[in-house]
A and B are shown apart, each in its own frame.
Chain A
Amino acid sequence: NAGVTQTPKFRVLKTGQSMTLLCAQDMNHEYMYWYRQDPGMGLRLIHYSVGEGTTAKGEVPDGYNVSRLKKQNFLLGLESAAPSQTSVYFCASSYQVLTYEQYFGPGTRLTVT
């Protein structure tokens, strides 16, 4: 039981390049989330999904796209990376939302130069 895994762990991109971050969970959770964490800002929600085939915008969705084609996977895409997207990205999942905790992956550290 690996929990929540994220790929890759580190990445450096040049401005304008694209990439996809992969999140996978093996707990059969319905809900999945992508956050970014910046110094002094806590975690901010980018996009989330309440089930396979669904996605919704969070607090800071601009510049990102997501897909949830399979229940266990949640992909975060950056179509044209910008230096402002330099951050640590965390994926999380939960069984339900209202009274259940979230399980987090180890994070992806992304630098955009």
Chain B
Amino acid sequence: SQQGEEDPQALSIQEGENATMNCSYKTSINNLQWYRQNSGRGLVHLILIRSNEREKHSGRLRVTLDTSKKSSSLLITASRAADTASYFCATGGYTDKLIFGTGTRLQVFP
């Protein structure tokens, strides 16, 4: 069963705009990770945020985590056409597995 649910399912924006996507999950977690998948390719890890962290930055990426609401958001600032991809959140609990959500498809128009 899916732990993470991303919202929205699809997002279309113009280059230069910011893109925000959200992830909600159901059970307690050790960490939450975001991955990117370009069409026809494998997933690439973007950022990991631990359960005791509230915000993390990496380049143009900003991730927030609210464990009281069991939700996370990924903000991509100043989007580029190359950011066009699907984005997945994945929750790590206290087991050997990550559980992935169904993803947000982001389209950035030049």
Contacts and interface: CB of A to CB of B under 8 A. Distances in A.
Nearest to B98: A102
Interface string A41-55: 111110010100000
A106 B41 contact: yes
Nearest to B42: A104
Contacts of B102: 40-42
A99 B42 contact: no
A61 B102 CA distance: 19
Interface of B: 1-2, 4, 30-31, 33, 35, 40-45, 48, 50, 88, 90, 92, 94-103
Nearest to B94: A98
Contacts of B100: 35, 42-44
A107 B95 CA distance: 25
